[in-house]
A = this chain, B = another copy of it.
Amino acid sequence: MRTLLLELRFDGEAYHGWQVQPNGLTVQEVLQNALEQVLGRREGVTGCSRTDAGVHARQFFCHLRTDHPISPARLAAALNHFLPPSAAVLSCREVPADFHARYSCRGKTYRYHIRNAAVRDPFLVGRCLLWPYPLPADLLHDAAQDFLGAHDFSAFCAAGSSADSKIRTVTRAEVRREGDDVFFFAAADGFLYHMVRIMAGTLLELAKTPDRCVPGRIAQILASQDRTQAGPTAPPAGLCLWEVRYGGDAWPKECS
């Protein structure tokens, strides 16, 4: 029995998220369908995280345990043949038997993409939030620095979370403008349900009330541990799982 790790990329617009659902196509389902075509049997795959419907992934990992002898390179090429164009396997490698795409994960980076323009860009439809109002990226970046460090993120967690602890350690909170595009990058050891979308929605609410857009405001919201103090949940299209980090024992040297 080998453990294989697949690195995926997908355009989330076509999917109801990663996890198999009774109503709606998911990435896990199309991947398992492709695996069945290639291996001739149904294999389960375990993802590094759930993603919401419409959320994208520049990098996503999942593992499967199989006794099929196919080589990792051949499996990747064959899966790309059977997957729809909106999903692709970027790489496949064998990892230690106890590797787990979710539990071995050390951290993730998400990117939230805001198109700050009056008119939509047809090439970015479904991939960003269109925001035709003023967006002071520098001020938002300063305000976002309060996210850094270990905090209880209850105020940035949607109802329905099953997490035991709401404490997460954020290692990057960056708001950056590139022309009409404003990007919010958030990295942490883990994320709660809707956490990045609520962080983004809170920054956008601060942009609407510049007098409240000050360092310390996010810290107040964090301290409140009250979801109603934070902003609304930003729409899924702007969100992209950007990078997934493994390391240490879980990620052998030849894989890093």
Binding site for B on A (CB under 8 A): 9-11, 56, 58, 76, 80, 85-90, 119-123, 125-127
Contact = CB atoms under 8 A, between A and B. Distances in A.
Copies held by the complex: 2
A22 B119 CA distance: 30
Contacts of A120: 80, 85, 88
Contacts of A85: 120, 122, 125-126
A80 B130 CA distance: 13
A9 B119 CA distance: 10
Contacts of A123: 9, 11, 56, 58, 127
A214 to B, nearest CB: 34
8 contacts: A11-B122, A11-B123, A56-B123, A58-B123, A85-B120, A85-B126, A88-B121, A123-B127
Contacts of A10: 122
A104 B77 CA distance: 49
A87 B119 contact: no
A126 B126 CA distance: 15
Given A85-B125, A88-B120, 11 more contacts: A9-B121, A9-B122, A9-B123, A11-B122, A11-B123, A11-B125, A58-B123, A80-B119, A85-B122, A87-B122, A88-B119
Nearest to A56: B123
A80 B85 CA distance: 28
Contacts of A9: 121-123
A181 to B, nearest CB: 14
The 4 closest A-B pairs by CB, nearest first: A85-B125, A11-B122, A86-B122, A88-B122
Contacts of A125: 11, 85-86
A112 to B, nearest CB: 16
Contacts of A86: 122, 125
Nearest to A126: B85
Contacts of A122: 9-11, 85-88
A10 B122 CA distance: 6
Nearest to A11: B122
